[in-house]
Structure 1
């Protein structure tokens, strides 16, 4: 069995039934499988993952050069795993560091909440990581440009988008980012064709403007002054490393901004003048309380940002899809803004690939909104909950909050315990007779250190990424029916036996060096787990003889058993 079919980048972009018809006068250079609008972290991740699956991708970005200043500063263990799967495993340490801690204090300096993060999280990477976004984007763009099939079109602005029965037609015009490029009195234009267009183009998304979806606003809105600072003394210790000051007289964030950097955020209080709030002089006045001034620090960036909580109701309409800030925005207090966008890409890309190859019905794309929107709501509600703690300007209400949280802390009660679990509750998951997912379906799969075919390391880097994976306590090849085996071969499903026997040397034996997978299977009460390409559990079985039934459930869920390409509409 070729278990690496979806890892090789083999060109599968020549399937005929769903191919777009080139526009009159278009060249082959203008025809793609997927167009991605927006080359931030989400758009780059989307393009790389599609390109790695053999898809031809046009990545359109109106700015000729990447944005050089920091924005997002946090990614979690799951996103670290996704970034590593793109080929950045060896690069992460250059621009990120473990977050270590996150402490919330009131105006009197009392600790209301303290979160300590594990050095090794559920996905095999530190639970929370602080990073520098320009360096991440540079690494992602370099990877995208090295990925066969991906064409990065910087300096081209999307100006028209039409969907028809054959695909989408995107018109792009030369752009300097904030103004058009005029040559000989004219603005250069190109017409691009593809099966699908994915809008990763931010809160003011052009692609979303071409959709009819409504937007739900949670009603959370506050203006904050965001400051990125480079202290000249790189050995200066900030303890805790990441701090929220829940002081009604000046709600403040003071966190790491990645190696060698710090970030401060200050809330604009009700009734205060916004005229000078975002000025550099005001920034230095605020930083003076932290013993920072132009003599010992560089103010890299200062901007006023409005924190909001809202999301698009539909992330797919026909051939148009949304991801990242184009689909949702949230306050930064849980560090899940960019993380949610990269999860969008991880969820969407393998589904697009299966639909384009004819191995899944187009209805699979409807599970994208189902799965990601409810998962997004968990992150957004957590962000709003935490924002409600810190953004309280009323001293009396803040005193009530402090008393409650201090009592919870003394009693050992977790203020986050009542939030819903971060688990998929619908979509492409194995369902029971009642139509609900059967646990552990929808849970995020773990990652541990393994030995496979003589190599040792984390599972993804040693065994591979990009395909469905069946983990079983017995040789899964002996558990499949003949028909199921052939289908697995065509779909590229990876079949492995998880074992603690360090002498095992079968071609599909994965030695579980730290017992990570065996402990996970035991906790779930399963003998086999079927993992999706985005690392979420499709389903499991407590009996190895039911593995074929598990795979058959996936086959039904994909909606087609034929190998022919399925028309996109």
Structure 2
């Protein structure tokens, strides 16, 4: 358990750093990279001496791809993943319940879904980490004690016998627990959790085929009450099959190698055609912690939430945790925001995760139906919806707009004013020296998108305030404008995405905005329809950050 003791001095021999990240799986990696790229000294404590060599997650969505690119591995995306292509649900008779084609370029400027080989992703993230001199990774080290002293957090570490003494005791201004489902950090801070009591055992089989083969569809869910089962891409050269354990099947026999090959035979996969790289029985859970911050300790990824795989949002939710937390922690560390800003991490991410988790459970109830009569009713409804065009059998999005937290709201009740909370689309922009996706051309951080030069819309004091916060000014020019003579802060809206969006998203009757303030995690803080509204928008951001360090 943590203890608060602001007067306790650092122990002799304690190594100090800005942030300690506990756990170096994908979420811990992205968290550490985003913070280290902002210049902070980051120390990672990872209990396992080498990375886990087998895949766990097999895909990530477009927003996650954008976050991974921000973490510095965008150039590796084509090597470690491939567009997921199509996703189809069929019933036991082979009838299509629904079919969706995954966009090759989606809302976030990347494929809406990428199938990936997780060890390759982790290797790319680790290689990026080795390029950052202010990121230090202690592998084979385990946290055994944690104390929050109010102004810093001290952890005790057990490591290899030849580890230097100064790695036994570490101190940081903040600690982020990314140490998975069995998180030591979570247990140490004693947070409660909301558990939905949704459990299923599934046998996961990771397979490498001996010869290349095209799968049509590329991702398939068979909603068969006699055996719900799944076949999906697991990245270039890899595939995954999953089978639900039925109520009358002994768990120990269900997870055997012989049973794995027997079930793979349902898809025509045998030892002559493939290598079974890994098989294991997972018990899927549905829960999240109620508080993601206690003092100077925060949780992210599986340490904060566990969800069934049916919406593909487990690892993706962890990446959103990292993106949400990193920029807020950056402002707090720099003295540009009050630490109360970090309370919005809990409120924002908990709502997002609750939505994704409930959707995943809803999908799971449909997929895992084992009652033949109920399955027939399900099939009848879904087929009718698809064939008659009376609606859509496709599941709703697992991601929703932010509805609470650091968002521009009404003065009367504080409720967010649209488009505050929306995830901004990423498209191609250009200026004299660069053409590419917005993030690559403009860079990370807050962005103020305007329809006129920012100096014509804001006074000098507010422009200076935005500069101190690290807001990038972006004057949008219409598509078709020659980019040759365009210099910062102007960019050409090459794909005609941003200016039409501003024209549609202004608050109030009639719409139309002259400016859009976008947070570093790509969600809208707020929009302004004129100069006065923009001044109020900037003032509101200043007030919500709540730091006197920004004044003067």
TM-score over 0.5 (shorter chain):
yes
Please state how far the C-alpha of 1:171 moved relative to its aligned partner.
Answer: 0.5
1:265 aligns with 2:242: yes
* Structure 1 residue 41 displacement after superposition: 0.6
Quick one: distance in 2 between partners of 1:315 and 1:416?
32
> What are the residue-to-residue correspondences of 1:82-121 with 2, within 5 Å?
82-121=67-106
2:414 match: 435
Structure 1 residues 419, 514: CA separation in 2 closer, same or farther (over 3 Å shift)? Answer: closer
Counterpart residue number, 1:4: none
Q: Indicate which of 464, 471, 474 corresponds to 2:443.
A: 464
Q: Distance in 1 between matches of 2:386 and 2:21?
A: 46
Equivalents in 2 of 1:190, 1:173: separation in Å? 6
The aligned counterpart of 1:373 is: 350
Query: Which whole-Å CA distance do the structure 2 matches of 1:165 and 1:319 have between them?
Result: 7
1:517 maps onto 2:498 in alignment: yes
* TM-aligned CA deviation for residue 253 of structure 1: 0.5
- Among candidates 293, 311, 315, match of residue 292 of structure 2: 315
How many Å apart are 1:321 and its aligned residue? 0.6
Q: Is 1:540 equivalent to 2:520 in the alignment?
A: no
1:386-428 deviations in Å (ceiling 9; x for gaps)? 1111111111111121122122223321245777960100000
The CA distance in 2 between the partners of 1:183 and 1:53, in whole Å, is 32
CA RMSD of aligned residues (A): 2.0
- Output aligned runs, 1:284-363, within 5 Å: 284-363=261-340
In the alignment, the residues of structure 2 paired with residue 515 and residue 22 of structure 1 have an alpha-carbon distance, to the nearest angstrom, of 57
Equivalent position of 2:200 in the other structure: 222
1:450 to 422, 429, 434: 429
TM-score (structure 2 length as normaliser):
0.93
| Higher mean C-alpha deviation, range 497-506 or range 306-315 | 497-506
Structure-2 separation of matches of 1:418 and 1:340 = 16
Q: Deviations over 1:322-372 (max 9, x none)?
A: 000000011111111000000000000111111111111111000000000
Matched, 1:553 2:531: no
C-alpha distance in 2 between matches for 1:479 and 1:78: 31
Alpha-carbon deviation of 1:294?
1.3
Are the aligned partners of 2:328 and 2:342 in contact in 1 as well (CA < 8 Å)?
yes
Could you say if the C-alpha distance between residues 421 and 289 of structure 1 is closer, same or farther in structure 2, counting changes exceeding 3 Å? closer
In 1: Cα distance, 2:462 partner to 2:161 partner:
58
After the TM superposition, which of the residue ranges 194-203 and 448-457 deviates more from structure 2?
448-457
Match of 1:42 in 2: 27
Cα distance change of structure 1 residues 505 and 418 upon mapping to structure 2, 3 Å threshold: closer
The residue number in structure 1 matching 2:508 is none
* Alpha-carbon separation, structure 1, partners of 2:167 and 2:495: 56
Mind listing any 5+ residue stretches in structure 2 that lack a counterpart? 1-5, 506-511
Task: Sort the Cα spacing of 1:290 and 1:91 in 2 relative to 1 into closer, same or farther, 3 A.
Answer: same
Would the aligned equivalents of 1:20 and 1:193 in 2 still touch at CA under 8 Å? no
Shift of 1:189: 6.3
d(CA) in 2 for partners of 1:63, 1:188: 19
| Aligned counterparts of 2:166 and 2:531: Cα–Cα separation in 1 | 60
- Decide which of 3, 6, 10 is 1:23's aligned counterpart: 10
From the superposition, tell whether residues 464 and 401 of structure 1 become closer, same or farther in structure 2 (CA, over 3 Å): same
Cα offsets for 1:117-149 (capped at 9, x unmatched): 111111110111100000000111111121131
Distance 1:95 1:407, change over 3 A: same
Cα distance, 1:26 vs structure 2? 2.0
* Aligned 8 A contact 1:53 1:353 in 2: yes
Report the equivalent of 1:161: 146
Q: Deviations over 1:407-451 (max 9, x none)?
A: 222332124577796010000000012211000000001111111
Moved more, 135-144 or 481-490: 481-490
Give the Cα–Cα distance (whole angstroms) in 1 for the partners of residues 270 and 80 of structure 2: 25
Paired with 1:356 and 1:505, the residues of 2 have a C-alpha distance of 35
What TM-score do the two structures reach when normalised by structure 1?
0.91
Distance 1:338 1:511, change over 3 A: same
Q: Is this contact kept in 1: 2:431–2:491, CA < 8 A?
A: yes
Aligned residues: 535
Does residue 1:134 correspond to 2:119, yes or no?
yes
Separation in structure 1 between the aligned mates of residue 228 and residue 494 of structure 2, nearest angstrom: 46
Tell me the distance in 1 between the aligned counterparts of 2:92 and 2:11: 66
Q: Which moved more, 1:91-100 or 1:412-421?
A: 412-421
SS in 1 for 2:362: helix
Change (3 A) 1:20 1:475: farther
Quick one: distance in 2 between partners of 1:258 and 1:200? Answer: 24
Q: Distance in 2 between matches of 1:131 and 1:477?
A: 44
Q: Matches of 2:333 and 2:500 in 1, distance apart?
A: 37
1:283 and 1:302 in contact (8 A); partners too: yes
SS of structure 1 residue aligned to 2:252: coil
